[in-house]
Amino acid sequence: MRQVTVVEHLLLRQKERPMASGRFTRLLTELILSAKIIDREVSKAGLLDVLGATGEVNIQGEVVQKLDDFANQVIIRRMERAGVLCAMVSEENADFIEIPRQFPVGDYILIFDPLDGSANIDANVSIGTIFSIYRRTSFEQQAVSVGDLLQKGSMQVAAGYIIYGSSTMMVYTAGNGVHGFTLDPSVGEFLLSHPDIKIPERGRIYSVNEGYSSYWDEPTRNIVNYFKASDNATGRPYSTRYIGSLVSDFHRNLIYGGIFMYPADSRDARKPSGKLRLMCEAAPMAMIAEQAGGLATDGTQRIMDIEPQELHQRVPLFIGSKNDVEVVLKFYADAAKS
């Protein structure tokens, strides 16, 4: 059987739009190449650690960088030359990244988390790159400002992730369904393996870091108790599955059905809105969830409708199967009434 590569898939989409300039395809092609480079290094992570421990240097004679810095640099250096972006926002950089003057610019904005869940890397746990693409709305000749970047999730042109797992996959949406491609390392191509992914309406899994339950608000505690309670009609109790790596937890729930939660947490006064970032993590995952038939909320508001006030704003996140996220909305709505 002849399998469609991700670039062929993008070109087919481009052909369906006679006015398309090919810049979006160019952007994603460059991002895919970045992902392949990151994948190559992630798959050698243990090996690089061994080499580092013996005091050896890598083949270029350089000290091996931490992988999340490496991933960040790969994406920035490749994408700034692509000629299609006007700015980038990385979870690793406090400020937004401008395109150096010597390179051509375009009107796309790339927001990304280069290696999410990288705290797990030494234990060989799956990690991922998350991306989100917007278009600037202001006049193109003006310098880009933070205001150009603070767009709500519903303005996203596309969103996706690459999961470096037992196999490496890219999952993305450009607003017409969610498609998954698996990297065939023997040919170095992402091949269409999961066309038009739909998340089951109801799952059997809840994913949350329950170690922090004493720091949660009351609705969140009640929600988790609900998923743990026994009820044949709704298939409860659900199973707990929590990896601590958003891309992996989300991807598993996307395929099997379920809900992922990173709620508000009173443990750290600086993080009353939980840990995850609205723009780099929650909004792109929300677009994928919705395109797959699921939902994403902060408890009361649709994630995609939240207007960001700052680049690294955090937000509580409840995301996954439609029926399961509706349970969350109901608990929060009931709490607001009482």
Interaction site with ligand AHM (CB under 6 A): 91, 113, 116-119, 209, 244-246, 262, 275
How many Cβ atoms are within 10 Å of 163's Cβ, its own excluded?
A: 26
Going by the DSSP 8-state scheme, the letter that residue 89 receives in this structure is E
d(CA 303, CA 307): 9
- Exactly one of 30, 68, 92, 116 binds Mg ion (CB under 5 A); that residue is 116
Residue 172 CB, nearest distance to ligand AHM (Å)?
18
**Type of residue at 56:** E
Please report how close the Cβ of residue 94 comes to Mg ion at its closest, in angstroms. Answer: 15
Task: Using the minimum distance from each CB to Mg ion, give the nearer residue, 226 or 262.
Answer: 262
Q: Tell me the closest approach of the beta carbon of residue 24 to ligand AHM, in angstroms.
A: 26
State phi, psi for 318 to the nearest 5 degrees. Answer: -125, 115
Q: Does 265 bind Mg ion (CB under 5 A)?
A: no
With binding defined as CB under 5 A, does residue 324 bind Mg ion?
A: no
* For Mg ion, the closer CB: 80 or 92: 92
When the beta carbons of 114 and 257 are compared against ligand AHM, the nearer one is 114
How many CB atoms neighbour CB 246 within 10 A?
25
Q: Which residues pair with 164 in a beta bridge?
A: 127, 168
30 binds Mg ion (CB under 5 A): no
**Would you say 99 or 243 has its CB closer to Mg ion?**
243
For ligand AHM, the closer CB: 202 or 314? 314
Closest CA relative to residue 162, chosen from 95, 245, 92: 245
Which tokens in the block code for residue 73? 């640099």
**263 in Cβ contact with 211 (< 8 Å):** no
Q: Which does 244 bind (CB under 5 to 8 A by kind): Mg ion, ligand AHM, none?
A: ligand AHM
Check residue 92 for interaction with Mg ion (CB under 5 A): no
Separation CA 89–CA 87 (nearest Å): 7
- Between 82 and 283, CB nearer to ligand AHM: 283
Q: Tell me which of 113, 249, 290, 298 binds Mg ion, using CB under 5 A.
A: 113
The answer to whether 250 and 260 are in contact (CB under 8 A) is: yes
Asked if residue 298 binds Mg ion (CB under 5 A), the reply is no
CB of 297 to ligand AHM, least distance (A): 17
Q: How far is the CB of 90 from ligand AHM (least distance, A)?
A: 11
For the CB of residue 83, give the shortest distance to ligand AHM in the complex, in Å: 29
Number of other CB atoms surrounding residue 187 within 10 Å: 10
Residue 258 makes CB contacts below 8 A (sequence gap 6+) with: 203, 204, 205, 206, 207, 238, 241, 252, 320, 321, 324
Q: Which DSSP letter does residue 298 get? A: S
158-164 vs 127-135, strand pairing mode = antiparallel
Query: Percentages helix, strand, coil for the chain, rounded to the nearest 5?
Result: 40, 20, 40
Q: Could you say which of Mg ion, ligand AHM, none residue 322 binds, taking C-beta under 5 to 8 angstroms by partner kind?
A: none
Closest distance of CB 261 from ligand AHM, Å: 10
Nearer to ligand AHM, 183 or 243 (CB): 243
209 contacts which partner out of ligand AHM, Mg ion, none, CB within 5 to 8 A by kind? ligand AHM
249 binds Mg ion (CB under 5 A): no
Nearest to 255 by CA among 302, 289, 282: 289
- Minimum CB separation from ligand AHM for residue 208, in Å? 8
Positions in the binding site for Mg ion (CB under 5 A):
113, 116
